[in-house]
Chains A and B, each alone.
Chain A
Amino acid sequence: EPEVTQTPSHQVTQMGQEVILRCVPISNHLYFYWYRQILGQKVEFLVSFYNNEISEKSEIFDDQFSVERPDGSNFTLKIRSTKLEDSAMYFCASSDRENNSPLHFGNGTRLTVT
């Protein structure tokens, strides 16, 4: 079964540094998402992306965050200047609304900001 893949599985960075989290969605999917889960808390929606633009974003997704689909396969989340509170598990997801499919999630990237 096709999978959403995320790299790296664990990223450690210093406060103030930029990080890029990478995702390869399922190949025929057209809708892409980022979620995050701070340790012990809920899984929270960050942003959805379709047709090379953001379709919806949450209040968490401020100017420090950006998303991009730089080529036909990758979908990235960039955090420009990381803060301690950005430490979380970040999940990428994709879906194929044409066939009414639910979201398929990757295994996540654990981001640790020190």
Chain B
Amino acid sequence: GNSVTQMEGPVTLSEEAFLTINCTYTATGYPSLFWYVQYPGEGLQLLLKATKADDKGSNKGFEATYRKETTSFHLEKGSVQVSDSAVYFCALTPDSWGKLQFGAGTQVVVTP
């Protein structure tokens, strides 16, 4: 079956530091890949997505590249801000809009 594995948190870093959150997946076929973000007290918001191999999703300074050869979709941001403190979820779906399979989530804490 499909599964998503992402690095455990919390990840604590200082403002302007570089952030990487690792995500690997197991799936049959060619899933679409997503990063969702959950800010404190809020719901899940789509951060970025990629629907085929070598696609790069980007939004708000975050990027992730769909790597089929390593079955990975690592999230990166070059310079984090305190406002980026949140829980980040990697997810996949076998089609671009269907049922999502989520990773466990990674809490990121950015300190001033």
Residues of A within 8 A of B (CB): 4, 6, 31, 33, 35, 41-45, 48, 56, 91, 93, 95-97, 100-108
Contacts and interface: CB of A to CB of B under 8 A. Distances in A.
Interface string B16-56: 00000000000000000010100001111110010000000
B43 A91 contact: yes
Nearest to A31: B97
User: Chain B interface mostly helix, strand, loop or mixed?
Assistant: loop
12 contacts: A31-B97, A43-B44, A43-B102, A45-B100, A48-B98, A96-B97, A100-B96, A102-B46, A102-B96, A103-B97, A105-B36, A107-B41
B89 to A, nearest CB: 6
B101 interface: yes
B14 to A, nearest CB: 26
Contacts of A56: 99
B42 A42 contact: no
A29 to B, nearest CB: 10
Interface residues of B, number: 20
Contact of A33 (B96, B99, B101, B104): B99
Contact of B104 (A41, A48, A104, A106): A41
B101 A45 contact: yes
Contacts of B44: 43, 91, 93, 105
B104 A42 contact: yes
A108 B36 CA distance: 14
